[in-house]
Structure 1
Amino acid sequence: MNIVLLDANTLANTSLSALHNLGQLTEYGNTLPSQIVERCQHADVVITNKVVLDANVLGQLPNLKLICVAATGTNNIDLNEAKKQGITVTNVAGYSTPSVVQHTFTLLGNLLGNVHHYVNDCAQGMWQQSDMFCRLDHSITEIAGKQFVIVGYGTLGQAVANVARAFGANVIIAEHRHSKTIRQGRTPFEDALKQADIVSIHCPLNEKTTDLFEKSALSLLKPSAVLINTARGGIVNEHALVNALENAHIAGAAVDVLSFEPAQNDNPLLTYKGDNLLLTPHIAWASKESITRLVENIAQNIESFYKGRTSNIVV
């Protein structure tokens, strides 16, 4: 079995022994669009995290039987063309839940506690200059007692909700925007935002959620509210978010994902100079344990496919 891994660098030097045991594995750190066909020409299995396999590419790979997406989202694969050509596509779901939950609350704790400012103050020698045992230059706010709105209540959203409740927050689950029916235990989207002290986004990026948080949605939030996005960049309109932060329409935001990645210098969130925004470079998913689970699950998907079993099949 010929297995080609197109973007091994996304796996952070994690052991690939589980994949090597399945056949002949060829690894490439990164792959440009112009290199895909040549590298995959004789592949039975292609593993990709973010490399795009569109209809044109798939049409030039007659030996390809299986595409393993090293992620949950499959928007980098032309699923219709894959199905048309009889190519099976698998993904991996749930592998990063503990990591994303941890990062969500790391961002939130930093944002509410101004930890990043206090760390910088200590580095600048300001604690030594204090006239008392501590410094209280920046506000510190608790999660306990806050209205914690979750947008996207799948596995990740549910896990975040459990931790939020453990902190003592009141969890509100937002219904889909523009939904004509409100499911039990859900709150209409607009009503949820109006109540929110904290909004944490965990929904997928699709036609319904692109620009879900634009000017009108952000305007529903209280000036004291904070927004956390560890889902996908396109869910939040970045220009609208900067406007909300600049004009103190919301208190702050923490963002792990951008609409175009890697980050571009002209992205409004990168050019924003305010101190009420935290940015991290799409790392919520990337604990060492998470990536190990990812590799193991990819190997299981390949093994299951060749044994005629169903495992995480998308098409």
Structure 2
Amino acid sequence: MQQIVFLDRDTIPSQITLPRPAFAHQWQEYPATRPAQVVERLQQATIAITNKVVLNADTLRQLPQLRMVAIAATGTNNVDLDYCREHGIVVSNIRGYATGSVPEHVIAMLFALRRSLFAYHQDIQAGVWQEKQQFCFFTHPIGDVAGSTLGIIGSGSLGQAVARLASAIGMNVIFAERKAASECREGYLPFAQVLKEADAITLHCPLSEETTDLIAAPELAQMKPGSLLINTGRGGLVNEADLVAALQSGHLGGAGCDVFTAEPAEPSNPLLAHADLPNLLLTPHVAWGADSAIQALANQLTENLEAFVAGHPRNRV
């Protein structure tokens, strides 16, 4: 009988049904798990489910019964994949479940920033309308999204879904080749060229050693003046202090961040410390969070468990 332990069940909202697998099993779930609790809670587990709880090599080597790690998300940077491969632990993740939710969040951020919606909301709260004594006022630039160029970094299912939606609203879409690549694949432009040509950049690549600080001061300086940066990928892809500096200098037109280097973000995080900037839009890692998307995630999670027990693991990483 499989012993299944879900370490952070509260990462899936309570209104979402999490189907139980059809095979014989015992199920234990915890709302959240602190690092010091992981080994104890997984001591008898054959299958561990984690969304964001870290399972590093030091932890995994203390879990001799463990045969599978089911990640309840797409990102895999919280699990030591090398250790799992070396010791026969199957790791599966969730794929393609938020190809409606994330692109809509990206496009919503683009519209909000390009049309300065948040900035105008702040001005109304501050009484600027009454000061101007006109039926309308123009204290921030308002631009069109249609006809502008969107640069996409990351061409997986989410990047492709964003491209389709952006094209549908009249944007010109270009894909960036990997930053360190010496040659471009068909359909891709050099990384630096995309930075220079795009009116907005959106990030949809995984976080790794190679992509940490993918966008920092040098890359921000290469971006077109007044352009936008949207990050719904991983917080570590962007150097947050450098991003704030680019916004404050006026070089960058705006930024939308749904992800942070540490979550929840500490008050000292540069983005939170400057959350009152009129051209900075922050959301708490919810781009993926439409109910339809999370239900698809939950269903796929159970399918991953059942496929593993049936002897043909799916979505292996």
Query: Would the TM-score normalized by the shorter structure come out above 0.5?
Result: yes
Quote the offset at 1:123 in angstroms: 5.9
SS at match of 2:222: coil
Q: For the residues of structure 2 that align with 1:221 and 1:75, how far apart are their CA atoms?
A: 28
The aligned counterpart of 2:207 is 205
Quote the residue 2:289 is aligned against: 286
Counterparts of 1:220 and 1:10, CA distance in 2: 37
Verify the 8 A CA contact 1:68 1:91 in the aligned structure 2: yes
Find out whether 1:302 has 2:289 as its counterpart: no
Per the TM alignment, residue 9 of structure 1 is displaced from its structure 2 partner at its CA by: 0.8
1:4 corresponds to 2:9: no
- Which ranges of structure 1 fall in alignment gaps of 5 or more residues? none
Q: Is the 8 A contact 1:88 1:313 kept in 2?
A: yes
> Contact 1:14/1:291 (CA < 8 Å) preserved in 2?
no
> For residues 155-166 of structure 1, what are the structure 2 equivalents within 5 Å?
155-166=157-168
Displacement of 1:118 in angstroms is 3.8
Q: For residues 33 and 135 of structure 2, what CA distance do their matches in structure 1 show?
A: 54
Partner residue, 1:18: 19
Q: Give the deviation of 1:127 after TM superposition.
A: 6.7
After superposition, the Cα gap between the structure-2 partners of 1:130 and 1:247, relative to the gap in structure 1 and judged at 3 Å, is: closer
The alpha-carbon deviation at position 136 of structure 1 amounts to: 4.4
More displaced stretch, 128-137 vs 280-289: 128-137
Say which is worse superposed, 282-291 or 135-144, in terms of deviation.
135-144
How far, CA to CA, are the matches of 2:296 and 2:196 in structure 1?
A: 38
**Other-structure match for 1:43:** 45
For 1:106, the equivalent position in structure 2 comes to: 108
Aligned to 1:58, which of 48, 57, 60?
60
What is the CA distance between 1:116 and its match in structure 2?
2.2
Q: CA deviation at 1:49?
A: 0.4
Which residues in structure 2 correspond to 1:189-204 (within 5 Å)? 189-204=191-206
* 1:20-72 Cα deviation digits (max 9, x unpaired): 65532211000011111111112121100011112222222222221100111
Percent of counterpart pairs with the same letter? 45
Query: 1:84, CA displacement in angstroms?
Result: 2.8
What SS class does the counterpart of residue 18 from structure 1 fall into?
A: coil
TM-fit CA distance, 1:174 = 1.3
Q: Are the structure 2 counterparts of residues 126 and 241 from structure 1 closer, same or farther at C-alpha, using a change threshold of 3 Å?
A: closer
Q: CA deviation at 1:270?
A: 1.4
For residue 82 of structure 1, report the CA deviation from its aligned partner.
Answer: 1.9
CA contact (8 A) 2:116 2:279 kept: no
Residue identity in the other structure for 1:200: T
TM-score, normalised to structure 2, is 0.92
Check whether the contact 1:14–1:292 (CA below 8 A) recurs between aligned residues. no
For 1:296 and 1:305, locate their aligned partners in 2 and report how far apart those are by CA, in whole Å.
15
What is the rounded CA distance, in whole Å, between the counterparts of 1:43 and 1:191 in structure 2?
A: 49
Stretch moving more, 268-277 or 103-112: 268-277
Amino acid at match of 1:247: S
Give deviations 1:115-164, integer Å, cap 9, x for gaps. 22344556677778986665544432111111211111111111111111
Q: Deviations over 1:241-263 (max 9, x none)?
A: 11111111111111111112210
Is the 2:73–2:94 contact (alpha carbons within 8 Å) kept by the matching residues of 1? yes
Residue 151 of structure 1 pairs with residue 150 of structure 2: no
- One-letter code of the match for 2:293? S
CA displacement, residues 254-281 of structure 1 (integer Å, 9 cap, x when unaligned)? 1111112210111111112422111111
**Equivalent AA in structure 2 for residue 92 of structure 1:** I
- TM-score norm. by structure 1 comes to 0.93
SS at match of 2:106: helix
Equivalent in the alignment of 1:243: 245
CA contact (8 A) 1:9 1:29 kept: yes
Matching residue's letter, 1:207: E
- Provide the C-alpha distance between the structure 2 equivalents of 1:312 and 1:54, rounded to a whole number of angstroms: 20
Deviates more, 1:101-110 or 1:133-142: 133-142
Partner letter of residue 146 of structure 1?
S
Q: Which of 262, 274, 279 pairs up with 1:276? A: 279
Contact kept in structure 1, 2:18 and 2:299, CA below 8 Å: no
Q: Which runs of 5 or more residues in structure 2 are unaligned? A: none
Task: Go from structure 1 to structure 2 and tell me whether the alpha carbon gap of 1:109 and 1:160 turns closer, same or farther (over 3 Å shift).
Answer: same
Structure 1, residues 52-101: CA drift from partner, whole Å, max 9, x if none?
11222222222222110011111111222222332211111111221111
